[in-house]
Structure 1
Amino acid sequence: MDPLVPTGIFGGSFNPIHTGHIGLARDILRLANLEEVWFLVSPLNPFKRAAGDLLDDRLRFDMVRRALCDEPHLVASDYEFALPKPSYTWQTLAHLRADHPDRQFSLIIGADNWLAFDRWAHPDDILHHHPIIVYPREGYPIDKASLPACVSLVDTGLYPISSTDIRHRVAQGEPVEGLVPPAIVPMVEEYYK
């Protein structure tokens, strides 16, 4: 029997995807010995339709796909789009396990999310079935000694870029070169103006 393909799951709205997301995924790919990192674009939660600043699901997915076109081990995924809404991480991971039995999925989350992990839906189910890779976030210190055996803290350094800041810059007519991949600069400037 072939070994399972180690695959990271990096979920988010990616509204828009930026160079910090990509740099982080590259670091985690190397530090956690993964074959691929899948960028799971989260669909708009039907209960949050009033949010207003979240771009259409397909447009965000298309930007992620284009942004990763030259990154052979980073994969854009619209997998959650076909799942029942709202989609919870434990359900998504269960579906992924069933649909891809050849892969070992590791969940990639920030330190802020790890510190709130006990409030997620079915955290024990996730911990039972999946390694968790935690990356640092400023202001959210993690005590490595307190982590369960299946949770690892990777030293990626910090990527101080935010999608919120990029949207604000576009709305103000400021440049976003260097903050988002060159392939999607025109899309970002068009979609978020």
Structure 2
Amino acid sequence: MKIGLLGGSFDPVHLGHIQIAKEAIAALQLDSFWFIPTKHNPWKENVTASNTDRVKMLQLAIGNQEKMQVSTIEIDQDSNEKNYTIDTLHTLVVRYPKDQFYFLMGMDQACAFEKWKSAKDISKLVQLVAFNRGGYPEDHENLKKYHFLKIDNPPITASSSEIKEGAIQMLDQNVLHYISSHGLYLDGMIRNRMHKKRYQHSLSVAKLTAQFAKNNGLDEQKGYIAGVMHDVAKEMPIEEATKLMKEYYPEYLEKPKPIWHQWLSSYVCEKEFLIGDQEILKAIEDHTTASTTISKLGKCLYCADKLDPLRGYDSSADIALCNKDIDAGFRKSLQSFYDFSKANHREIDPVFFEIYHKFIGEN
């Protein structure tokens, strides 16, 4: 058999990885193509997702591509030492002596291949194959020196680092859903959607919401996701916000613009980030104004948003109450909002009184 190999962290796998696998299968007439997620990448110190998550994302990205599969040969090793390609290839050649291996890498790595451990030995063990990467030359002296084959593919521009900074369009939809549902990379993905102060607030609220959820017997991960995403649409351009409110939330169009983001953030989470958990989406929708149907998770987010230590006042006593009993903490937050608004002669939305009378009366 002719088997293509592509190693890497796949943290996360992106559309470019799948595209180059398709190109290689066609160009090299491969019988099979194996993705090899590394356990300890010698080129990278930190991997965000767990081994399990990275394998699962690869499987989702492959989908029904019959010739593609995930090899866990490196992840399954007992050693915690860094994985070097030469060692993996030695194992594969011994294990599958009748098969011919084609080891793929982008031109970014091919141009620096002389720095790889045992580069010459690698070139003798397998057929090296280079493919075009955006921003790198399409030819290099290493191609001849190490006997590379070259795939003349449209340059791959997707990168895992860009995805972690918010380029979610580079992801397979099933992978994006997995990422969002498991709270992976979200802290980086939202960074460019807001100013630094709001970004720091979002991370702080995520931490506090997760803490409240955990201490009240709820799903800590859901708390984190709701918290980190609650303000994702807060800085949406007003033209776009108005259009979406008219189309999807016309019943709230007359509400003050500063609170539109609770509905629009839920929209962005569902439509752009593919978060399908209705409890998380409802918590985000309720995080500014609350509602008579607010869930316990929603109460965790509502209180975390109001009590965020970064707001600059001592909220430690109320935080302690929420950690002990989120229902009591929520009632206290409602009472505090009412008292503050009355003392400062601020207008209160009539809907608030429905919420106030329902929950303050709970004892």
Shorter-chain TM range is: 0.7 to 0.9
Q: Distance in 1 between matches of 2:161 and 2:63?
A: 23
1:149, CA displacement in angstroms?
Answer: 7.6
Return the TM-score normalized by structure 2: 0.46
Q: Distance in 2 between matches of 1:162 and 1:124?
A: 28
Counterpart among 65, 70, 90 of residue 71 in structure 1: 65
Q: Secondary structure at the match of 1:75?
A: strand
RMSD between superposed Cα atoms in Å: 2.3
**Alignment-derived partner of residue 90 in structure 1:** 86
Are residues 1:188 and 2:149 paired?
A: no
**Alignment-derived partner of residue 101 in structure 1:** 97
1:137, CA displacement in angstroms?
Answer: 1.9
Structure 1 residue runs without a partner (length 5+): 171-175
CA 1:97–1:20: 2 relative to 1, 3 Å:
same
1:1-193 aligned within 5 A: 5-45=1-41, 51=46, 54-83=48-77, 84=79, 85-141=81-137, 142-143=139-140, 147-148=144-145, 150-169=147-166, 176=168, 178-189=169-180, 190-193=183-186
One-letter code aligned to 1:191: L
1:8, CA displacement in angstroms?
Answer: 0.8
| Number of residue pairs the alignment of both structures matches | 181
Cα deviation, 1:50-90, whole Å, max 9, x if unaligned, reads x3x52111111111012212111111121111233211101
Q: Secondary structure at the match of 2:129?
A: strand
Q: Distance in 2 between matches of 1:34 and 1:47?
A: 28
Q: Distance in 1 between matches of 2:4 and 2:97?
A: 14
One-letter code aligned to 2:52: R
Q: Distance in 2 between matches of 1:88 and 1:160?
A: 25
**Alignment-derived partner of residue 358 in structure 2:** none
Q: Secondary structure at the match of 1:82?
A: coil
Cα deviation, 1:95-132, whole Å, max 9, x if unaligned, reads 01111223111110111111111111111111112110
Q: Secondary structure at the match of 2:49?
A: coil
Q: Secondary structure at the match of 1:86?
A: coil
Q: Distance in 1 between matches of 2:44 and 2:118?
A: 22
Q: Distance in 1 between matches of 2:158 and 2:132?
A: 14
Percent identity over the alignment is 25
The structure whose residues are more often strand, as a share, is 1
CA 1:139–1:165: 2 relative to 1, 3 Å:
closer
Q: Secondary structure at the match of 1:81?
A: coil
**Alignment-derived partner of residue 322 in structure 2:** none
The structure whose residues are more often helix, as a share, is 2
- Where has structure 1 moved over 6 Å in runs of 4 or more? none
1:44, CA displacement in angstroms?
Answer: 3.2
Q: Distance in 2 between matches of 1:29 and 1:119?
A: 27
One-letter code aligned to 1:147: K
Structure 2 residue runs without a partner (length 5+): 187-363
Q: Distance in 2 between matches of 1:33 and 1:7?
A: 9
One-letter code aligned to 1:68: I
Q: Secondary structure at the match of 1:17?
A: coil
Return the TM-score normalized by structure 1: 0.84
Q: Secondary structure at the match of 2:133?
A: coil
CA 1:107–1:145: 2 relative to 1, 3 Å:
closer
CA 1:145–1:54: 2 relative to 1, 3 Å:
closer
One-letter code aligned to 2:22: R
One-letter code aligned to 1:73: K
